[in-house]
Amino acid sequence: MRELCHTGRMPDAAIIEGLERKFNLLVGDLDERGRRRWVASEAMALGYGGITAVALATGLSDRTIRNGIQELQSNDPLPSGRQRRQGGARLWSIINKTWSKRSTALSA
């Protein structure tokens, strides 16, 4: 396994460029869950400093990468059709659905 040499400096530019090329080739074919899992697996493969390198290469947050790592290491994986765990919906999505139901009920 190759390790990212990290001495408190920026990760190796060649590694970041390689990750960026791979990400740009795949990003159109991946949904949210696929992106999260791909970046997590790349960060894990790089070892120390991998999260930083992947975040710099992809523009995704380190929190997203850490969540992906937790998913990959979990003994309780997400069901195949889900993007997030139950209760993990975006707040505005919930508000819009609730508002839509109320509007429909009032107009009936």
pTM above 0.75, yes or no: no
Per-residue pLDDT averaged across 11-40, rounded?
Answer: 92
Residue 76: the pLDDT is: 72
Question: Domain containing 4: what range?
Answer: 1-83
For 33-78, what is each residue's pLDDT tens digit? 899 999 999 999 999 999 999 999 999 999 999 999 998 998 776 6
The residue among 52, 20, 54, 17 whose CA lies nearest residue 37 is: 54
Per the domain annotation, does 72 fall within a domain? yes
Residue 81 clears pLDDT 80, i.e. is over it: no
* CA dist 67 → 14, 17, 102, 103, 108 (Å): 25, 23, 34, 36, 43
Per the domain annotation, does 70 fall within a domain? yes
Domains in the chain: how many in total?
1
Residue 104: the pLDDT is: 61
Per the domain annotation, does 78 fall within a domain? yes
